[in-house]
């Protein structure tokens, strides 16, 4: 029996409402409770000025960073799953996460103290993470391309090997780390939005705009790729160009994000599956809907991370794993029930 799907406009409107609700809740909830009226104006009193400072300088950049991060990871996961026709695909499949982690770990362990406390030290870890993510993706693409054709099978297998190699090098760096570097590295690999600042968002925005543009160009070709590469070519799509744009978009979207906030799991895998249940596989709807739902889920996870152990700040990657793992198991069970013949 076919179940009628809601209209795309209705889905988008519902997700926008959820996103606005999550943003408001995230701005209000925390170690210091803030009333709804403080979000709209300040009367000039000392208490309200302090509340306004917390909103504008601490929580607002964190909310914006969580929104951008969740959207980038979710859309990247949807693109990877469509490109490789693999329901387990996520941005880590092309080495972005492992490369970014290795770059950041190298700076944290080997150069953190030597860089001092100036501007170079502040941006060293994000810059190394971005460079590592983009470098690993470039190497993977070069390795998997022969005679102008990129093999998705080679990308998948080589991506696993590259991730394992990067993890091994990261493990060696962890073994060499002192106590301070080890703590910083461990906290970074768990993912955290606690250091969010407007300066980070200004740097991320151009990368994410470029990634969004490249992914918008391939939404229709990804639908054709669901039928297979040969069928997509017969329909007139330049499959190799689609692969390059997809890998470029994912690398540009997730590399800088991982560099700033660390490794956050399950958003890229779970969110596209949840959206497909409601919207179906059409990437023209799936990609923007995944962006909205990814932003909502990471905002919820970050809000929980701030209130679970007040006044401590739990790494948001721990919360996404705690939420995402059971949801993913449920999705697997649901798919198994659907696939079983009656």
Query: Two tokens at 198?
Result: 């407007």
Give the pLDDT confidence score for residue 50 in this predicted structure: 75
| Residue 11 lies inside a defined structural domain of this protein | no
pTM for this structure? 0.87
How many angstroms separate the CA atoms of 295 and 212, rounded?
14
Indicate whether 22 belongs to any domain: no
Q: Where are the alpha helices (DSSP H) in the chain?
A: 8-28, 46-54, 60-84, 96-106, 119-144, 152-176, 179-190, 198-217, 219-225, 229-234, 239-261, 267-279, 283-307, 316-339
Mean pLDDT per 10-residue interval, the chain, length 342 residues: 74 95 88 64 58 82 95 94 84 79 80 48 72 85 82 84 86 80 77 86 90 91 89 89 90 86 88 91 93 96 88 86 87 64 36
CATH code of the domain covering residue 270: 1.10.3470.10
Residue 161 placed within a domain: yes
Domain tally, the chain: 1
> Looking at the domain assignment, is residue 317 inside a domain?
yes
Q: Which residue has the tokens 């953190």?
A: 112
Q: Establish if 221 belongs to a structural domain.
A: yes
In a domain, 186, yes or no: yes
Quote the pLDDT of residue 36: 60
Q: How far apart are CA 313 and CA 178, in angstroms?
A: 23
pLDDT of residue 97: 80
Asked if the structure places residue 273 within a domain, the reply is yes
Closest among 19, 65, 14 to 296, alpha carbons compared: 19
- The pLDDT, as a whole number, for residue 118 is 44
- Residue 272 in any domain: the answer is yes
* Full domain range(s) for residue 83: 49-339
């Amino acid at each position: 029996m076919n179940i009628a799907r809601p209209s795309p406009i209705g889905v988008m409107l519902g997700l926008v409402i959820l996103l606005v609700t999550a943003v408001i809740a995230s701005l209000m909830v925390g170690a210091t409770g803030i009333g709804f009226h403080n979000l709209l104006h300040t009367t000039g009193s000392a208490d309200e000025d302090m509340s306004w400072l917390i909103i504008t300088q601490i929580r607002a950049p964190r909310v914006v960073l969580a929104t951008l991060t969740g959207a980038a990871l979710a859309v990247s996961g949807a693109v990877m799953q469509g490109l490789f026709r693999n329901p387990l695909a996520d941005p880590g499949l092309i080495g972005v996460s492992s490369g970014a982690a290795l770059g950041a770990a190298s700076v944290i362990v080997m150069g953190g103290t030597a860089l001092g406390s100036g501007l170079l030290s502040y941006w060293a870890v994000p810059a190394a993470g971005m460079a590592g993510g983009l470098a690993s993706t470039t190497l993977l693409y070069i390795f998997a391309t022969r005679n102008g054709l990129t093999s998705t099978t080679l990308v998948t297998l080589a991506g696993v090997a590259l991730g394992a190699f990067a993890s091994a090098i990261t493990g060696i760096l962890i073994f060499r780390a002192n106590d301070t570097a080890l703590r910083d590295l461990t906290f970074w690999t768990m993912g955290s939005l606690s250091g969010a600042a407007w300066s980070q968002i200004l740097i991320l925005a151009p990368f994410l705009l470029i990634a969004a543009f490249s992914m918008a160009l391939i939404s229709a070709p990804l639908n054709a790729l669901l039928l297979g590469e040969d069928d997509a070519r017969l329909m007139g799509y330049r499959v190799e160009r689609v692969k390059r744009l997809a890998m470029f978009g994912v690398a540009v979207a997730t590399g800088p994000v991982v560099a700033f906030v660390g490794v956050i799991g399950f958003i890229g895998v779970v969110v596209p599956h949840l959206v497909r249940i409601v919207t179906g596989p059409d990437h023209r709807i799936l990609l923007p809907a995944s962006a909205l739902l990814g932003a909502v889920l990471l905002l919820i996870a970050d809000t929980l991370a701030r209130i679970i152990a007040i006044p401590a700040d739990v790494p948001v990657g721990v919360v996404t794993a705690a939420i995402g793992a059971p949801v993913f198991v449920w999705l697997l069970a649901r798919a198994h029930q659907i696939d079983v013949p009656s």
